[in-house]
Chain A
């Protein structure tokens, strides 16, 4: 069973388009994340939701809008795509307990290419 899944795995689109990436986890976690990995493999957090509430919102252009319809899903919508948005986007999930946030489990990634 896939723990954290993302769709699509590959996404090729043109500048100016709007696209969405979907993430689902079946681990029963209450916290989900989006990370961006650039061409040099550098990973940086973008957003995090806990129980459908936004808790981390890094310096990301407001063309990026996350949406969490429920605890098991976190989608990422990107408006007016730019060449610099080309990257691999990873979703992750974890549980929150009295000691804070636990280990993060990552999805397989979505490779976005903007032409």
Chain B
């Protein structure tokens, strides 16, 4: 079945440090890939997405590139802020050959990020 594997956390960084959170996936079909963020005590928010190979999703300084050859979708940010402290989830939604999604999100285990001033 479909699965998503994220790097083990927690990740602790100083403000303005470079962030990478690794994500790899296995899926049948042609998945769309997502990064969601969960701030303390809140629900999940979509951070960015990519729907086909070599697409780059970006938002709020975060970026991730859909790499089909390595089945990866690593999240990066050049300079993190204290306000980026949250749990980050990589997820996929399987899509058939015609490009229609099935609607089911499969999540990675989440990576806790803490940024210190």
Interface residues of A (CB under 8 A from B): 4, 31, 33, 35, 40-45, 48, 50, 55-56, 90, 92, 94, 96, 98-109
CB distance B104 to A45 under 8 Å?
yes
In the complex, the answer to whether A100 meets B102 with C-beta atoms within 8 Å is yes
Decide if B109 is an interface residue (CB 8 Å cutoff).
Answer: yes
The A contact surface, by secondary structure, is: strand
List chain B positions with a Cβ less than 8 A from chain A.
36, 38, 41-46, 49, 87, 89, 93, 95, 99-107, 109-110, 112
Query: A106 vs B105: C-alpha distance in the bound complex, in angstroms?
Result: 12
**Beta-carbon contact of A108 and B42 below 8 Å:** yes
Q: Please state if B44 and A42 are interface contacts (CB–CB under 8 Å).
A: no
Residue in contact with B102 in the complex, picked from A44, A101, A107, A109, CB distance below 8 Å: A101
**What residues of B have a CB within 8 angstroms of the CB of A100 in the complex?**
95, 99-103
Q: How far is the CB of B78 from chain A (nearest CB, A)?
A: 25
A/B interface sample: 15 pairs, CB < 8 A: A35-B105, A41-B109, A41-B110, A42-B107, A42-B110, A43-B44, A44-B107, A56-B103, A56-B104, A90-B44, A101-B101, A104-B105, A107-B43, A108-B42, A108-B43
Asked if A43 and B110 sit within 8 Å, CB to CB, the answer is yes
Q: Check B43–A4 contact: CB distance below 8 A.
A: yes
Measured in the bound complex, the distance between the Cα atoms of B36 and A109 in whole Å is: 15
Q: Is the CB of A106 within 8 A of B43?
A: yes
